[in-house]
Structure 1
């Protein structure tokens, strides 16, 4: 019975994902198709004045841009079902290859930011919640409120000026040192270039986790069962371990996994500031260049990424809280 329920659950999730991908693809294509950017002009670039109308027509025909928009969308969908995501107009390479190369860089960046923001956000929230009303609580709340209203690109520029320009401790940008062959780049080189963009994303992302965890912990500590535990002589870390952590971990996990969308959006800004070669930088270039195949491919991958985060949160929620498996809440 349990296996049947799990199969039904994941089948429903897969159906929702399929419907979501179709809707997102159609909506994204409509937006790109109605943008003022001319893909042919973006493809030609600075040599636009040297290209005749006949050559423009040949380029449009080669890329299928002379077909009606609906036919272009259906042809793209047909090719996608056959495993072909198309060819990027900007990079002149298959979209799947461009995304695979950029996704690894973005995944490393977002993984570092996601882990750090979760650990430090949860820790700060617990410290503030256990010391409600103290100077430490006020300091953490003020810090988090400031971060919550701070744009990622502004913080990235500030860190770039401080640690790269003024102090010279870290590289000023890019994912690897300039002028070095790919096979000569070491792990430490990649790590040094990852520090600043990862730090930017993690600092911005921890505010919501910390504030949410603090609020939930304050509610738990003011509950009747915790007051009863205090009356029995429990206090401090004993109260937190027996009654606090399990109750505050559920909403923290759900919120942290659901933040995948915000994490990807922040990565777009951070990668632009630091010229980091990830999906965020690619999606900006695809949007400005009218590269429809690449843009739609990245949109699909980011949709699956965010959906996977939400699904993981649901699964962990059911695993941690037995009442969710029994359908009691």
Structure 2
């Protein structure tokens, strides 16, 4: 297992280097000039100041030189300085990471456990009401864009039934300490987390239902039932462990999609996370901040993929043996 993990880490390092290079290339060939964006936000700028800022930002150097300097700084743990915020990119990211991780982790866990449970229950009676409901849920989840779901929830719970807050992470002026502060954050988290989890919950429930139905038709399940084991033991101890493997794989593969969806969700609900920071950085042509966010997102996806591989080998002993 240790040799396997070390090999995967070496592959991950090479992949991250390739992603860093590609991100840098795509951002610098995209239209827009950060200096001109700053000039517009300031209401004008002299040509001398423009040239000074380009030299300060290193934009007057050839692309290869800029890329080499950027990669060297990243290897040293320096993500650069924000053009717009005039602050360290690393500090800007770490300020927003807790909010994004809270939203993403809660959404992923909600989608995984609820979706798997619904799929497992639906597989017991493939033609029953619950199974048909899971099918309808999957269709709706596939069809509804994340931002559309968020807007609908805002309309429902801000105008029709004003139950949950629909903006920010905390109530302005409220006590942010202790249980009161925690409950306030959880109350603000309900709608963004459900919005982000909804589409993946539909996918996981459908996948778990199909996988569970296939597993229940296996020979070892019939043998377990023939031994007189209870239906609960057969379903949740023998069948579910194998049926959940495709869902675990899908969860790891879609972690990057969840992060991408978080950008839209954070924008709709004004959630103060990395997604909102990325959106603002795109509008302001803040290249260092955007590159830092992309690097962090890529790192999270790579780490999640490695953890998925390890979890897969732990859940299924046959993979460990092979």
Is the TM-score greater than 0.5?
yes
CA 1:182/1:58 → structure 2, altered by over 3 Å: closer, same or farther?
farther
1:36 aligns with 2:31: yes
Of 104, 111, 130, 2:124 maps to 130
8 Å contact 1:109–1:197 — kept in the other structure? yes
Deviation at 1:252, TM superposition (A): 2.2
SS at match of 1:186: helix
SS at match of 1:83: coil
Deviations along 1:174-209, one digit per CA (max 9) or x if unpaired, are: 122246697799222222221111111122221111
* Alignment-derived partner of residue 205 in structure 1: 200
8 Å contact 2:176–2:182 — kept in the other structure? no
8 Å contact 1:103–1:279 — kept in the other structure? yes
Output the CA distance in 2 between the equivalents of 1:220 and 1:86. 51
CA 1:248/1:304 → structure 2, altered by over 3 Å: closer, same or farther?
same
Output the CA distance in 1 between the equivalents of 2:91 and 2:229. 58
Number of equivalenced pairs: 321
Structure 1 window deviating more from structure 2 (229-238 vs 259-268): it is: 229-238
Output the CA distance in 2 between the equivalents of 1:124 and 1:181. 38
1:104 aligns with 2:98: yes
* Alignment-derived partner of residue 294 in structure 1: 289
* Alignment-derived partner of residue 239 in structure 1: 234
CA 1:146/1:8 → structure 2, altered by over 3 Å: closer, same or farther?
same
* Alignment-derived partner of residue 159 in structure 1: 153
Deviation at 1:278, TM superposition (A): 0.6
8 Å contact 1:37–1:288 — kept in the other structure? no
Output the CA distance in 2 between the equivalents of 1:265 and 1:202. 13
Output the CA distance in 2 between the equivalents of 1:272 and 1:164. 17
Of 144, 150, 170, 1:150 maps to 144
Output the CA distance in 2 between the equivalents of 1:25 and 1:91. 22
Structure 1 window deviating more from structure 2 (162-171 vs 22-31): it is: 162-171
Deviation at 1:250, TM superposition (A): 2.0
CA 1:296/1:237 → structure 2, altered by over 3 Å: closer, same or farther?
same
Deviations along 1:109-157, one digit per CA (max 9) or x if unpaired, are: 1111111111110111011111111122111111122112211100011
Structure 1: runs of 5+ lacking an equivalent: 1-5
Structure 1 window deviating more from structure 2 (231-240 vs 255-264): it is: 231-240
Deviation at 1:22, TM superposition (A): 1.4
1:95 aligns with 2:89: yes
TM-score of the superposed pair, with normalisation by structure 2: 0.93
* Alignment-derived partner of residue 3 in structure 1: none
CA 1:92/1:107 → structure 2, altered by over 3 Å: closer, same or farther?
same
Deviation at 1:214, TM superposition (A): 0.5
CA 1:183/1:64 → structure 2, altered by over 3 Å: closer, same or farther?
farther
1:26 aligns with 2:21: yes
Output the CA distance in 2 between the equivalents of 1:231 and 1:10. 40
C-alpha RMSD of the superposition = 2.1
